[in-house]
A = this chain, B = another copy of it.
Amino acid sequence: MPATDFSSAEYAARLRKTRAGMALQGIETLIVADPSNMAWLTGYDGWSFYVPQVVILHSSGSPLWWGRTQDKSGAAQTTWLQDSDLYDWPEEHIQHPDHHPYAALVDLLRQRGWTSGLGVEMDNYYYSAASHRVLEQAFGRDEIADATGLVNWQRAVKSEAELAMMRKAGQLTAQMHAVLRDGFRPGVAKNQLVADVQAAGIAGLPGLAGDYPAIAPIAPSGLEASAAHITWNDRQLALGEATYFEVSGCYHRYHCPASRSLYLGEPPADIRRAETAVLTAIEDTLATARPGVTCEDVAACVYESFAKAGYVKANRTGYPVGLSYPPDWGERTMSLRPGDTTRLQAGMTFHLMPGLWTADWGLAITETFVVTPEGGKALADIPRELVVKST
């Protein structure tokens, strides 16, 4: 993701919003380990998040990028930062039993005099308990606040430029589903179908190249589909089985996930009934999702539509999406579920997931939408109906 994707004014606005959030929590120096947040603040891109790396945002001045020596050149190529704002830890400390790279981060923070009022993302994949211990031992527990989600929350309302990225991701998602519908037939091995669908998302469309999504295709069939996160295997698609495919195109790290369900043969009545309930839930929910409505109101809309069809469901039915890196394309802030009273704002983007799972099958038809004054608008154009094929 070249940092030229967004204007310098947009990056400046992102820093400003984040600093306002820091001020509210009394944080002077924010240590950002979530690669999605690092990218959103600076443009940094690379598959380097498997080693310690952060963006440091002080209450004033340029953010700093800090990472592995080998990745500094990548930071120079992908971020809008000056070379003098890039710092590295010694290459010889990579995955070393006796050295933790965060010792070098402590040195850098001390050099800058940023030793109090620190904020860290305590509940993030890329901020380990060991990393935290190094900082705690250096600066004391009282000087380190938990800032999990602080940057993520600033990302909730998307700019026009971001929405354009997500719509492009949605075009890729639609192309993936088109290839899926076309290739879905009895006897096809699941891994072959996944290979084709994934290739369609990366080869993309003219002028629209795809990136790797933050989650691999989830594509369970039959009994497997009663489990939520089975990826794929080499089994041939068989008549009489429901399959659902949860995939997302990815454009410059922005996502637009969508699931569709497919059936080989004549779908049984209970699956058709579930389909109707899910399709109704999507329409009702999109009509409801206007600015000012709460997350729990949106979720209630799904539950009510389900209840009319005789299904009881009360668990989370959606979450915000956008810029992301593996292992999750969600933003981990709000959720569409009871008790979440966050009010929607125009420009927020959610993956709406009204799925139904029984002991024997799972049915998932989902949409990524943006909140507008006229309600939720899907960001990808993909037929929603259960795909039914017999040959």
In the assembled complex, the Cα of A131 lies from the Cα of B146 at a distance in Å of: 12
Interface 9-mer from A22-30, A203-211, A265-273: A203-211
User: Least Cβ distance of A104 to chain B in Å?
Assistant: 15
Closest to A319 in B: B95
In the assembled complex, the Cα of A255 lies from the Cα of B232 at a distance in Å of: 17
When each residue 91-104 of chain A gets 1 if its CB lies under 8 Å from chain B and 0 otherwise, what string results? Answer: 11011110010000
A315-347 contacts to B, CB under 8 A, are: 315-316, 319, 326-328, 330, 332, 335, 337-338
Inter-chain contact A327/B330, CB cutoff 8 Å: no
Interface centre among A127, A212, A357 (most CB of B within 10 A): A212
When each residue 143-159 of chain A gets 1 if its CB lies under 8 Å from chain B and 0 otherwise, what string results? Answer: 00010110000000000
Closest to A207 in B: B234
Inter-chain contact A128/B133, CB cutoff 8 Å: no
Inter-chain contact A332/B95, CB cutoff 8 Å: yes
In the assembled complex, the Cα of A201 lies from the Cα of B78 at a distance in Å of: 28
Please name all residues of chain B whose beta carbon is closer than 8 Å to the beta carbon of A209 when the two chains form the complex.
189, 191, 233-234
Inter-chain contact A210/B191, CB cutoff 8 Å: yes
Q: How large is the interface on A (under 10, 10 to 19, 20 to 34, 35 or more residues)?
A: 35 or more
* Contacts A/B (CB < 8 Å), 28 sampled: A46-B227, A47-B218, A47-B229, A49-B327, A70-B227, A73-B227, A73-B228, A74-B228, A74-B230, A77-B227, A92-B338, A95-B330, A95-B332, A95-B335, A96-B335, A122-B130, A124-B128, A127-B129, A128-B129, A130-B146, A130-B148, A191-B210, A194-B202, A195-B203, A196-B199, A198-B202, A209-B233, A212-B216
Closest to A76 in B: B227
Q: 4 nearest interchain CB pairs? A: A209-B234, A74-B227, A129-B132, A123-B130
Q: Does A80 touch B at the CB level, under 8 Å?
A: no
- Number of copies of this kind of chain in the complex: 2
Closest to A194 in B: B202
Q: Does A386 touch B at the CB level, under 8 Å?
A: no
Of B78, B191, B195, B230, the contact of A77 (CB 8 Å cutoff): B230
Q: Does A116 touch B at the CB level, under 8 Å?
A: no
Interface centre among A124, A226, A326, A332 (most CB of B within 10 A): A326
Q: Does A55 touch B at the CB level, under 8 Å?
A: no
Please name all residues of chain B whose beta carbon is closer than 8 Å to the beta carbon of A231 when the two chains form the complex.
45-47, 211-212
Q: Does A280 touch B at the CB level, under 8 Å?
A: no
Inter-chain contact B47/A216, CB cutoff 8 Å: yes
Please name all residues of chain B whose beta carbon is closer than 8 Å to the beta carbon of A335 when the two chains form the complex.
94-96
Inter-chain contact A46/B229, CB cutoff 8 Å: yes
A112-141 contacts to B, CB under 8 A, are: 120, 122-133
In the assembled complex, the Cα of A228 lies from the Cα of B49 at a distance in Å of: 12
Inter-chain contact A125/B123, CB cutoff 8 Å: no
When each residue 53-96 of chain A gets 1 if its CB lies under 8 Å from chain B and 0 otherwise, what string results? Answer: 00000000000000010110110111000000000000110111
Q: Does A215 touch B at the CB level, under 8 Å?
A: yes
Q: Does A8 touch B at the CB level, under 8 Å?
A: no
A70-B228, A129-B129 given. 20 additional CB < 8 A pairs? A45-B230, A46-B230, A47-B215, A49-B327, A50-B328, A70-B315, A91-B316, A94-B316, A95-B332, A96-B335, A120-B129, A124-B128, A127-B128, A127-B129, A129-B132, A130-B148, A132-B132, A192-B203, A195-B210, A212-B216
